[in-house]
């Protein structure tokens, strides 16, 4: 059985009175281990040491850890600018703690060492609480290091925060405080069960964009422009001291392994680069995201119901500061229902840690952890079920709690309009690149493909060739049979060409009855053989209402002094030579 007591610290006398409480002391006397977590808005080390020293003096067997915060979760409710103390007593489980500074060291290596120490802890590990300082270290590298040497059990927790300048976050264990470091609490026991879950609740809002230049945790450019322009252009956010607070609820949303992952910028530099606390890779695509209140509450209800089935005896929450910034007074809608299941305690973070298939650094999410000693019973928790806890808003005031839902409707509207515009843009782009009759690429797109291949050839010596062909005596088809039949001949020719070329080749209509094929990674011999294959294919085909048709081909390949104009000119002259030599033949430059 796990017993948890939460205390809102106001002064030493009140905390000392709690620690001397007879009922608490009776619970402690029958416990195998005890974890005390201190989460505080106050980053003053003297204050934190005063609180932890008092706890350690009164409860010498207790493991004492903590972090600075951007919001505190006390009995399922948000507190601000407070210090909260959570005392968790375990009847049969064991607790081990390890702390590690990461200043001036290889953070990934420090993580690997921490993971090794975690794995060496005695007993059956049920889970690990991880606290770290993402504002001052590369927490992603820390997690990679931990995962390289520890695994097979859930790891969860949060990044320490700072209400003010975002520069003084701390984690601590006992009297050791780390502005750059990590603390791991290993929970072990054959009878200890942990239920871990996370959810986001943010929806994509903007068009898709691509990260084009990255330097570690600094995103320099997006779509080739300074990354900050995204926030200036779409949201009219200034690059000033308030940038983080203004951009907080508009993270980058990336899709990784089929899941949306949020990344929140914490600062912008004078060159327009964005600083993040978690990894983003060059080449990744993203959209600007915004929290959907309805989705958040819906996801929260699902997690509440799942947690109710687990029958927890204590619940720890690690929830992103973005969520309380977005939801304001409604933020308790997703946290209070947990308190109906079990004592609920935690803090608002700068980054959340969560392992499912692998250990991840998350942004903008909530991580909910249920703990229980012993098997669940049919009776479950002796508290009220989650659906009694207030996931629905108060119905007595039809105007209450509506502001975020209004915003959610506007976001949904913008999302729908964006989707419609993107669909229209795709259609326009397709039309601008495609010949309407043959559905091959048109002259404009062929020019683009030629230039791309030319640049590849100039930079990397990648060969390519082009084939220019013209249908023989096509004017007679139009004169004798009419333009509709002539159009059918062109469409049939396009099908023959696409059916007999590679997927990497580009077949396009050059104009009138002329077609151009760009053949990458092919020398003159390969292109000539392809042209002969196409010539015989056209010659063998029976064209409706016309019968047999032939075509003449000019083939050339890239030469070092070439540009697009010289290549086309050479292919055109070679095609003319094929016509002059009797048609229905392939000539090679």
Task: Kindly report the three-state secondary structure assignment for every residue of 320-375.
Answer: EHHHHHHHHHHHHHHHHHHHCCCCEEEEEECCEEEECCCEEEECCCEEEEEEEECC
Residues contacting residue 201 through CB under 8 Å, at least 6 positions apart: 291, 292, 295, 296, 299, 300, 323, 364, 366
Mean pLDDT of 490-496: 97
Tell me how far apart the alpha carbons of residues 345 and 5 are, in angstroms, rounded to a whole number. 9
8 A C-beta contact, residue 194 and residue 263: no
pLDDT at 278 (0 to 100): 86
Q: How far is CA 204 from CA 96, 208, 219, 334, in A?
A: 41, 9, 19, 21
8 A C-beta contact, residue 404 and residue 327: yes
Question: Strand (E) positions, 93-191?
Answer: 94-101, 125-132, 155-159, 171-173, 176-178, 181-188
Strands 366-373 and 192-199: antiparallel
% of residues, the chain, pLDDT over 90: 75
pLDDT at 164 (0 to 100): 67
Using pLDDT thresholds of 50, 70 and 90, give the confidence band for residue 411. Answer: low
Dihedral sign, CA of 11, 47, 128, 130? Answer: positive
% of residues, the chain, pLDDT over 70: 92
State the Rg of the chain over Cα: 33
Q: Answer whether residue 270 shows pLDDT above 60.
A: yes
Residues 74-85: tens digit of each pLDDT? 999 999 999 999
pLDDT at 51 (0 to 100): 96
pLDDT at 104 (0 to 100): 67
Mean pLDDT of 179-185: 96
pLDDT at 400 (0 to 100): 47
Task: Kindly report the three-state secondary structure assignment for every residue of 179-218.
Answer: CCEEEEEEEECCCEEEEEEEECCEEECCCCEEEEEEECCE
Helices and strands of the chain, counted as H and E runs: 16, 32
Dihedral sign, CA of 410, 415, 420, 426? Answer: positive
pLDDT at 409 (0 to 100): 57
Please work out, in degrees rounded to the nearest 5, the angle formed at the alpha carbon of residue 192 by the alpha carbons of 191 and 194.
Answer: 145
More confident residue, 513 or 407: 513
Nearest partner of 303 among 401, 202, 200, 384, judged by Cα = 200
Mean pLDDT of 352-356: 92
Mean pLDDT of 121-148: 94
pLDDT at 184 (0 to 100): 97
Residues 433-448: tens digit of each pLDDT? 899 999 999 999 999 9
Residues 209-266: tens digit of each pLDDT? 999 999 988 999 999 999 999 998 888 889 998 898 888 888 999 988 888 899 999 8
Q: Which residues is 37 bridged to in the sheet? A: 65, 86
Q: How far is CA 33 from CA 21, 25, 75, 529, 552, in A?
A: 18, 13, 22, 79, 88
Does this model's pTM top 0.85?
no
Q: Which residues is 506 bridged to in the sheet? A: 518
Tell me how far apart the alpha carbons of residues 563 and 447 are, in angstroms, rounded to a whole number. 11
pLDDT at 239 (0 to 100): 92
pLDDT at 115 (0 to 100): 95
Residue 186 tokens, joined: 């290993």
Q: In this predicted structure, which of 139-153, 214-228, 389-403, 513-527 has the lowest mean pLDDT?
A: 389-403
């Amino acid at each position: 059985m796990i017993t948890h007591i939460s205390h809102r610290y106001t002064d030493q006398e009140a905390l000392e009175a709690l620690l001397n409480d007879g009922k608490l002391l009776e619970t402690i006397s029958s416990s195998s281990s005890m974890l005390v977590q201190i989460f505080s808005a106050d980053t003053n080390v003297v204050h934190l040491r005063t609180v932890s020293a008092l706890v350690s003096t009164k409860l010498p067997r207790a493991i004492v850890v903590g972090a600075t915060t951007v919001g505190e979760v006390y009995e399922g409710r948000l507190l601000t600018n407070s210090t909260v103390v959570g005392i968790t007593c375990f009847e049969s489980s064991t607790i081990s703690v390890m702390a590690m500074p990461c200043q001036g060291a290889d953070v990934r290596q420090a993580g690997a060492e921490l993971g090794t120490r975690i794995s060496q802890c005695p007993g059956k590990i049920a889970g690990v609480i991880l606290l770290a300082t993402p504002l001052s270290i590369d927490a992603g590298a820390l997690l990679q290091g931990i995962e390289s040497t520890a695994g097979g059990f859930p790891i969860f927790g949060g990044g320490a925060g700072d209400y003010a300048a975002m520069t003084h976050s701390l984690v601590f264990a006992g009297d050791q405080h780390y502005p750059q470091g990590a603390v791991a609490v290993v929970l072990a026991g054959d009878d200890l069960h942990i239920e871990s879950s996370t959810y986001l609740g943010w929806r994509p809002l903007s068009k898709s964009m691509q990260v084009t230049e990255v330097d570690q945790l600094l995103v320099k450019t997006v779509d080739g422009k300074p990354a900050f322009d995204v926030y200036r252009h779409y949201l009219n956010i200034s690059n000033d001291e308030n940038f983080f607070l203004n951009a907080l609820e508009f993270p980058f949303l990336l899709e990784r392994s089929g899941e949306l992952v949020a990344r929140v910028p914490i600062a912008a530099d004078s060159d327009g680069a964005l600083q993040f606390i978690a990894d983003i890779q060059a080449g990744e695509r993203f959209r600007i995201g915004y929290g959907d209140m309805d989705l958040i509450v819906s996801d929260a209800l699902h997690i509440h119901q799942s947690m109710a089935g687990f029958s927890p005896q204590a619940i720890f929450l690690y929830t992103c500061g973005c969520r309380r910034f977005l939801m304001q007074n409604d933020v308790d809608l997703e946290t209070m229902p947990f308190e109906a299941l079990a004592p609920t305690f935690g803090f608002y973070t700068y980054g959340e840690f969560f392992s499912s298939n692998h250990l991840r650094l998350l942004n903008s999410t909530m991580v909910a952890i249920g703990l229980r000693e012993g098997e669940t019973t049919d009776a479950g928790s002796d508290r009220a079920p989650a659906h009694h806890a207030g996931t629905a808003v108060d119905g007595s005031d039809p105007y209450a709690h509506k502001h975020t839902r209004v915003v959610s409707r506007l976001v949904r509207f913008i999302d729908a309009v964006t989707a419609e515009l993107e669909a229209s843009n795709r259609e326009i782009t397709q039309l601008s690149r495609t010949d309407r009759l043959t559905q091959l690429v048109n002259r404009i797109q062929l020019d683009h493909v030629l230039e791309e291949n030319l640049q590849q050839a100039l930079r990397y010596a990648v060969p390519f060739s082009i084939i220019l062909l013209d249908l023989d005596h096509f004017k007679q088809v139009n004169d004798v049979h009419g333009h509709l039949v002539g159009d059918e001949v062109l469409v049939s020719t396009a099908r023959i060409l696409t059916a007999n070329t590679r997927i990497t080749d580009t077949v396009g209509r050059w104009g009138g009855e002329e077609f151009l094929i760009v053949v990458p990674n092919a020398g003159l011999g390969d292109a000539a053989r392809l042209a002969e294959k196409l010539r015989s294919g056209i010659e063998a085909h029976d064209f409706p209402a016309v019968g047999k048709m032939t075509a003449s081909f000019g083939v050339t390949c890239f030469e070092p002094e070439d540009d697009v104009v010289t290549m086309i000119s050479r292919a055109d002259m070679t095609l003319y030579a094929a016509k002059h030599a009797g048609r229905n033949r392939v000539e090679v430059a």
